[in-house]
Structure 1
Amino acid sequence: MFHVVAGTCAFRPDGTVLLTQRAASKDFPLAWEFPAGSALAGESSREAAVRELAEEAGLVVDTEDLALVGRFVDSAALFDVYVVRASGLEQLKLDPAEVSDYQWVSVAEVERRFRSGMMSGPWTVGLSALWDPFVQALGQDL
């Protein structure tokens, strides 16, 4: 049976995007990703994306500010990918049980990391499937 997972790529006006590094105790330890997690019972995909971004990185956004990039199918999940604009002034507050570090990186660096296996397995699959719409959603012309 599939469940819904939602992940969000926050991007700043300077074109950089937020990558978080998974905690060492989690699956895919120390791999890079965008904040993501499973939707809770009764929660929409957008609500899950907003909640996970706030829980893992301390970024608070509204559901209407999310832009859907697309959906891919992982081994047991329907995985929705969103992008959202961040002001660039936010103070991040990482959940140490979920996230060990973060970096604001270029879109080219995201591509380098997912193609070289530095990102968690689901994100490697998802970005492979959704790379062009992902870049378009960010408004990047690479």
Structure 2
Amino acid sequence: MDGELWDLTDASGVPTGATFRRGDPDFPKALFHIVASVCVLRGDGLVLMTRRAAAKDWPLCWEFPAGSALAGESSAEGAVRELEEEAGVRVGVDELEFVGRVVEREALFDLYFARVSGDPVLQLDPEEVCESAWVPFSEALRRCDVGDMAGPWVLRLEQLGERLRELVGRSPE
């Protein structure tokens, strides 16, 4: 959302002490903000995908719930907040497993993995999400391959998809 305040970090994710307001012009060169996402796995082996609202960039494209960490938030805290805001799914920071990081032009994208029990009741934020689906992980990859996912996800899944596949396929401890 325009007006959000983000911490600026160096290339390794260390905060610089400076902030940037979303929507302002001239994002500083060689600095980044944190974007975080959670791939949520239900007990039946399906993962949660959300479809971006028509008014957002990459309209009507699929993704895993994601968004920018706000000033003062850790990457994991931002991931947990975004998942709850966009889909109504609550997990704790301690329930996240870090999948990996992708360095993008202005963002450090962190992907997390979390398991949930049962069939969580979703509460979609209509300003962010217009639809959701619980799908096999292979369907998420197919949607990426055929261009149904938001563009940034192509590189993200090229780099992190194999590790995510391992986590999705691993038996719960």
TM-score, length of structure 2 as denominator length? 0.79
| Mapped contact 1:18–1:103 kept (Cα < 8 A) | yes
Deviations 1:18-64 (A, max 9, x none): 00000000000000001111011110000000000000000011000
Instruction: State the alpha-carbon separation in 2 of the partners of residues 105 and 37 from structure 1.
Output: 21
Structure 1: unaligned runs, 5 residues or longer: none
Aligned equivalent of 1:80, options 75, 88, 110: 110
Q: Does 1:122 align with 2:152?
A: yes
Q: Computing the radius of gyration over CA atoms, which structure comes out larger, 1 or 2?
A: 2
Where relative contact order (Cα < 8 A, 6+ residues apart) is larger, the structure is 1
Aligned equivalent of 2:41, options 11, 24, 29: 11
Considering fraction of residues, name the structure with more helix.
1
Instruction: State the alpha-carbon separation in 1 of the partners of residues 130 and 72 from structure 2.
Output: 29
Name the SS for the 2:38 alignment partner. Answer: strand
Name the SS for the 2:152 alignment partner. Answer: helix
| Mapped contact 1:74–1:125 kept (Cα < 8 A) | no
Aligned equivalent of 1:92, options 110, 114, 122: 122
Structure 2: unaligned runs, 5 residues or longer: 1-30
Name the Cα RMSD after superposition.
1.2
Deviation at 1:12, TM superposition (A): 0.6
Aligned equivalent of 2:161, options 131, 136, 141: 131
Name the SS for the 2:149 alignment partner. Answer: coil
Deviations 1:84-121 (A, max 9, x none): 00113211000000000000000110110111111111
Aligned equivalent of 1:22, options 11, 36, 52: 52
Q: Which amino acid aligns with 2:118?
A: G
Instruction: State the alpha-carbon separation in 2 of the partners of residues 108 and 89 from structure 1.
Output: 20
Q: Which amino acid aligns with 1:39?
A: A
After TM superposition, the runs of 4+ consecutive aligned structure 1 residues lying more than 2 A away are: none
Instruction: State the alpha-carbon separation in 1 of the partners of residues 57 and 104 from structure 2.
Output: 15
Q: How many residues align?
A: 141
Deviation at 1:124, TM superposition (A): 1.5
Q: Does 1:55 align with 2:85?
A: yes
TM-score, length of structure 1 as denominator length? 0.95
